[in-house]
């Protein structure tokens, strides 16, 4: 409809695209990986200690062993697999992170729209009255008349200095950062579910051990009371044993309380209300300790950790914002144009679409800020400071990630040693308790010696249970510290292939 004038506007836009060839500001370069190859000053041993007890097998440290996407399946627990699968589908925190990613991606596409001209259609009917003292603009001389205008308005800003390209670059980096935050949220969720399940199993076994000791202590008290009736024991011995039984029973409610809270946590992680607790119940015997533990090099760790990748992308976004600030200080070039038809009546509008009713407007504009109270200069300095802040935060994240892995590796070695010592302690305490109880029943041991043996044995049982749980929990922590294998997930691999 506007074939006469629109080519002129299109030609101007084409010229704008041709002259838009550079982007001011620094070009972001990926940060070099850490120049260290170890996580500690001393060399990492090839394996942990072992103990002749359930959950006491030795674990081997294997360098550059890849991590499966569903790393939690290495614990060989069907109940854990089922609970994590449901949690990934229903956890609202994960859904919120996914929504934030979609928002960030749409912001990128919205900014990319500024690479194209803005085209708007306009229809403007008006009715006017010209004072009798003035001449009517119409050939008919009418002082009251209608004007109907249809037009297309086109505007375009030349991206000469790459301001929009830097803005898109910044938003794309923010979207990439949000994608890694989604991976971090997924990793945190799966790790928290696994840790909560292990903690529940530990509490259940501590409760079972406490109840077993309560049963033994009750039997001893029954024996004492029988001896008291027969005149072979005194009331003090009975009172001491009653106090011991009450003390042991007092340790049970706190454990039951912790178990109830743990069940509430598992329900929440699965996206359910506390009244809808999951059907799975966990015991330590249901978990198998993974034999081979991955140990990624620090240079590879920064590629695997979602929080490190997210932090690097935020630094990239801040770098691009420096280019935006620099471009704002340079001349801004725009072109505006509109073309259309105007006629004195709406009826039979097609009759008025003729060269006689045609109009167009085309204008270019170049604007350079001359005086703004140094606003743009300070905005540029603020962008540079924001980049320095992002770079420092990236270094903090890298250092923390290496510390996280180092602490977990040390914890795994310590856990194995603790379990070995706890197993020996429990074995000795059990022998001592059985011997003292036999001597007590035959009258060769007093009640004080029996009480000490009881307390020692309970402490030993609880120590073994906690040490077994710690080994499992710190193994989960290692998989989390190393990034959790997100790069091996099918949808991630599909995304990489489509990009290539």
> What pLDDT digit, counting tens, does each position of 27-59 carry?
999 999 998 889 998 999 999 999 989 889 999
Q: Residue 176: is its pLDDT beyond 80? A: yes
Tell me how far apart the alpha carbons of residues 140 and 485 are, in angstroms, rounded to a whole number: 81
Tell me how far apart the alpha carbons of residues 431 and 438 are, in angstroms, rounded to a whole number: 11
Choice among 60-64, 191-195, 282-286, 337-341 with the minimum mean pLDDT: 337-341
Tell me how far apart the alpha carbons of residues 382 and 373 are, in angstroms, rounded to a whole number: 15
Structure token pair of residue 394: 């990236």
Tell me how far apart the alpha carbons of residues 20 and 168 are, in angstroms, rounded to a whole number: 15
Crossing angle for the helix pair 252-269 and 163-230, to the nearest 10 degrees:
150
Give me the residue label for tokens 């006469």: 4
With cut-offs at 50, 70 and 90, classify the pLDDT of residue 294.
Answer: very high
- The pLDDT, as a whole number, for residue 353 is 66
Tell me how far apart the alpha carbons of residues 272 and 420 are, in angstroms, rounded to a whole number: 39
Q: What is this structure's pTM? A: 0.86
Smallest CA-to-CA distance from 72 within 245, 310, 287 is with: 287
Cβ–Cβ under 8 Å, residues 187 and 483: yes
Smallest CA-to-CA distance from 27 within 402, 461, 387 is with: 387
Smallest CA-to-CA distance from 305 within 187, 472, 175 is with: 187
Q: What is the DSSP letter of 18?
A: H
Q: Residue 355: is its pLDDT beyond 60? A: yes
Tell me how far apart the alpha carbons of residues 463 and 29 are, in angstroms, rounded to a whole number: 51
Smallest CA-to-CA distance from 44 within 56, 60, 67 is with: 60
Q: How many CB atoms lie within 10 A of CB 68?
A: 14
Q: What is the DSSP letter of 343?
A: E
- The pLDDT, as a whole number, for residue 134 is 81
Q: How many CB atoms lie within 10 A of CB 221?
A: 16
Smallest CA-to-CA distance from 343 within 119, 145, 152 is with: 145
* Cα dihedral sign, 315-319-322-323: negative
Per DSSP, the residues of 64-124 read T----TTGGGGG--HHHHHHHHHHHHH-HHHHHHHHHHHHHHHHHHHHHGGGS-EEEEEEE
Q: How many CB atoms lie within 10 A of CB 243?
A: 11
- The pLDDT, as a whole number, for residue 349 is 57
Q: Are strands 332-343 and 358-367 parallel, antiparallel or unpaired?
A: antiparallel
Smallest CA-to-CA distance from 478 within 72, 91, 37 is with: 72
End-to-end CA distance of the chain: 42
Percent of the chain with pLDDT over 90: 66
Tell me how far apart the alpha carbons of residues 171 and 178 are, in angstroms, rounded to a whole number: 10
Percent of the chain with pLDDT over 70: 92
Tell me how far apart the alpha carbons of residues 392 and 313 are, in angstroms, rounded to a whole number: 13
Cβ–Cβ under 8 Å, residues 322 and 167: no
Tell me how far apart the alpha carbons of residues 412 and 402 are, in angstroms, rounded to a whole number: 15
Choice among 12-16, 246-250, 290-294, 360-364 with the minimum mean pLDDT: 12-16
Q: Residue 3: is its pLDDT beyond 50? A: no
Q: Are strands 118-129 and 332-343 parallel, antiparallel or unpaired?
A: unpaired
Q: Are strands 292-295 and 60-63 parallel, antiparallel or unpaired?
A: parallel
Cβ–Cβ under 8 Å, residues 330 and 352: no
Is CATH 1.20.1600.10 the classification given to domain 24-115+160-326+378-499? yes
Tell me how far apart the alpha carbons of residues 58 and 88 are, in angstroms, rounded to a whole number: 31
Cβ–Cβ under 8 Å, residues 308 and 401: yes
Distances 499 to 154, 493, 495, 496 between C-alpha atoms, Å: 34, 10, 6, 5
The whole-chain average pLDDT of the chain stands at: 89
Tell me how far apart the alpha carbons of residues 350 and 343 are, in angstroms, rounded to a whole number: 10
Q: Residue 15: is its pLDDT beyond 70? A: no
Distance of CA 451 to the CA centre of its chain: 50
Q: Is 365 helix (H, G, I), strand (E, B) or coil?
A: strand
- The pLDDT, as a whole number, for residue 351 is 64
- The pLDDT, as a whole number, for residue 344 is 75
Per DSSP, the residues of 50-65 read --SSTT----EEEET-
With cut-offs at 50, 70 and 90, classify the pLDDT of residue 195.
Answer: very high
Q: Residue 216: is its pLDDT beyond 50? A: yes
Choice among 86-95, 335-344, 438-447 with the minimum mean pLDDT: 438-447
């Amino acid at each position: 409809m506007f074939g006469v004038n629109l080519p002129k506007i299109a030609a101007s836009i084409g010229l704008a695209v041709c002259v838009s060839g550079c982007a001011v500001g620094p070009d972001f370069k990926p940060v070099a990986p850490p120049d260290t190859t170890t996580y500690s000053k001393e060399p990492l041993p090839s394996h942990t200690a072992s103990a002749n007890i359930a959950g006491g097998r030795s674990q081997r440290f294997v360098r550059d062993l890849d991590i499966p996407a569903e790393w939690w399946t290495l614990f060989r627990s069907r109940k854990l697999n089922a609970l994590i699968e449901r949690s990934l589908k229903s956890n609202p925190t994960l859904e919120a992170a996914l929504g934030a990613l979609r928002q960030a991606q749409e912001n990128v596409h919205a900014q990319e729209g500024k690479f194209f001209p803005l085209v708007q259609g306009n229809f403007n009917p008006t009715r006017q009255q010209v004072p009798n003292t003035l001449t009517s603009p119409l050939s008919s001389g009418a002082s009251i008349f209608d004007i109907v205008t249809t037009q297309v308005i086109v505007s375009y800003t030349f991206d000469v200095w790459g301001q929009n390209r830097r803005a898109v670059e910044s938003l794309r980096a923010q979207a990439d950062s949000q994608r890694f935050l989604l991976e971090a949220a997924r990793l945190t969720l799966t790790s928290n579910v696994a840790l909560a399940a292990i903690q529940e199993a530990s509490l259940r076994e501590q409760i079972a051990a406490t109840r077993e000791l309560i049963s033994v202590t009750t039997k001893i008290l029954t024996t004492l009371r029988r001896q008291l009736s027969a005149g072979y024991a005194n009331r003090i011995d009975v009172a001491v044993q009653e106090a011991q039984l009450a003390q042991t029973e007092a340790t049970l409610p706190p454990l039951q309380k912790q178990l109830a809270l743990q069940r509430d946590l598992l329900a929440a992680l699965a996206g359910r209300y506390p009244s809808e607790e999951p059907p799975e119940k966990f015991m330590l015997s249901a978990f198998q300790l993974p034999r081979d533990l991955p140990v990624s090099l620090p240079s590879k760790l920064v590629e695997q950790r979602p929080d490190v990748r997210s932090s690097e992308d935020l630094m990239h976004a801040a770098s691009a914002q420096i280019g935006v600030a620099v471009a704002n200080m340079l001349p801004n070039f725009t072109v505006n144009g509109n073309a259309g038809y105007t006629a004195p009546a709406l009826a039979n509008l097609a009759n008025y679409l003729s060269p006689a009713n045609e109009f167009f407007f085309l204008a270019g504009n170049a604007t350079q800020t001359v005086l703004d109270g140094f606003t743009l200069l300070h905005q540029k300095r603020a962008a540079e400071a924001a980049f320095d802040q992002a770079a420092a935060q990236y270094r903090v994240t890298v250092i923390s990630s290496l510390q996280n892995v180092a602490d977990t590796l040390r914890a795994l070695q310590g856990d194995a040693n603790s379990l070995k010592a706890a197993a020996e302690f429990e074995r000795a305490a059990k022998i001592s308790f059985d011997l003292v109880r036999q001597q007590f029943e035959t009258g060769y041991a007093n009640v004080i010696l029996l009480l000490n043996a009881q307390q020692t044995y309970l402490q030993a049982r609880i120590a073994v249970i906690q040490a077994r749980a710690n080994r499992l929990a710190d193994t989960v922590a290692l998989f989390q510290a190393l990034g959790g294998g997100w790069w091996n997930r099918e949808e991630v691999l599909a995304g990489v292939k489509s990009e290539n």
